[in-house]
Structure 1
Amino acid sequence: MYTEINKNVTRYVSFNEDELSIFNQLLKHRSIAKRKLMLRAGETCNFEGFVVKGCLRKYYLDENGNEVIIQFAVEDNWISDIASFADQQPGNLFIETLEESEILYLNHQAKEELLARVPRFERFYRKLVERNISVLHNRLHFSISKTAQEKYIDFLEHYPTIPQRVAQHYIASYLGMSAEFLSKVRKKMIKD
């Protein structure tokens, strides 16, 4: 059960078997049905989850009550409300399963114990946060400087399996456009 998460963490930092064993002992496993909210705005996030199976989305509601998706997480990805989790304060994000999913996760107490017992995991989490900041930076850059077609092409390059797994309106939300406009973009790409 821990093979994939151990591969994921050792991409960034080398850990010995004892360190990985401590990590694995602190992890909890959860199976979640499709379309279940794991976190609601106003709640405090108490998990940093690694997706073993499934597809999840993280989103917020804008001032008009529209959903704005900020992350899709599929196998071999992490998901959490990092700010809420770190500060142990209520956040403004929702996390929902789009497919039947399984995650391995650490709650706040287990993560603190892990960092105390295996300090090298501080480096792993720093690398993970740096990677997330880089992804958000690139996404912001694309949303400002690229055309709708370029945004969609970039999305397909980075998330090739998502279009087969989620409804088009979710992809449109992630890209910051209406489903109708995304449909026009896709038709134009097929025509060209």
Structure 2
Amino acid sequence: MLDVLLSHIHNKVDITEDQKKQLQSFFTFKKLKKKQYLLQEGDICKCLSFVSRGLLKSYFSDEKGNEHINMFAFEGWWISDFNSFIHQEKAVLNIDAVEETEILMITLQDYDKMLSEIPVMDRYFRILYQNSLVTKDYRLIVSNSYTAEEKYLQLAQKSPEMIKRVPHNLIASYLGLAPETISRIRKKISLNNT
């Protein structure tokens, strides 16, 4: 179960066999059924979670009950309501399973202990946080300056797996578009490819 995580870590930093063995003590395993919550708005986010298999979505709901998707987490991705996790405050995000999912979870106490005992993990997470900031900045630019079709095409180019695995109504929410707009764009692309 730890193999996906260890591979992900190894792609970012060099880690010894002893450190790999030591990592096991910090994580717990959990399975989620499709549509099962990992976190609900108002709860405290007790764990940072790594997706070993499956797909999760992070979102908030507006006053009308509409979902606004913040992110998807595929295999090899981390997910949490990070403010809630770090500050142990009430979560503003919901996280649930789009598919049956297997995750590795680490508590804040174990996270801090791991960073202290295995310093290379501090570097690993710094790299992840830097990449996350770059991605969020880019997503904000796309969201504010691209047309609906450009948003969809950019997503299809950068994340073809998302287009294949994620239901189109959820992609619409993620892009801030109506599901009908996604259908119209997909139809136009299909016609242009024939």
Please give the range of the TM-score, normalised by the shorter of the 2 chains.
Answer: over 0.9
Partner of 2:28: 28
Partner of 2:102: 102
- Residue 15 of structure 1 deviates from its aligned partner by 1.5
Q: TM-score, normalised by structure 1?
A: 0.94
Identical counterparts, % of pairs = 34
CA-to-aligned-CA distance 1:108-147 (integer Å, 9 cap, x gap): 1211211121122111111111111111111111111212
CA distance in 1, matches of 2:13, 2:99: 30
CA distance in 2, matches of 1:82, 1:158: 24
Partner of 1:19: 19
Partner of 2:59: 59
CA distance in 1, matches of 2:2, 2:191: 45
- Residue 159 of structure 1 deviates from its aligned partner by 2.3
Letter in 2 for 1:121: M
CA distance in 2, matches of 1:134, 1:62: 26
Partner of 1:72: 72
- Residue 63 of structure 1 deviates from its aligned partner by 4.0
Matches within 5 A, 1:149-188: 149-188=149-188
CA distance in 2, matches of 1:145, 1:166: 24
Partner of 1:111: 111
CA distance in 2, matches of 1:8, 1:116: 20
Q: TM-score, normalised by structure 2?
A: 0.93
CA distance in 2, matches of 1:34, 1:15: 34
Query: Is residue 117 of structure 2 the alignment partner of residue 122 of structure 1?
Result: no
- Residue 64 of structure 1 deviates from its aligned partner by 3.4
Unaligned runs of 5+ in 2: none
Aligned length: 192
Letter in 1 for 2:135: V
Unaligned runs of 5+ in 1: none
Letter in 2 for 1:159: S
For the residue of structure 2 that corresponds to 1:70, the secondary structure is strand
Which runs of 4 or more aligned residues in structure 1 lie more than 6 Å from their structure 2 counterparts after TM superposition? none
CA distance in 2, matches of 1:140, 1:2: 33
Partner of 1:145: 145
Query: Is residue 46 of structure 2 the alignment partner of residue 46 of structure 1?
Result: yes
For the residue of structure 1 that corresponds to 2:160, the secondary structure is coil
CA distance in 1, matches of 2:158, 2:64: 29
Letter in 2 for 1:33: K
Q: Which moved more, 1:132-141 or 1:157-166?
A: 157-166
For the residue of structure 2 that corresponds to 1:161, the secondary structure is helix
Partner of 1:189: 189
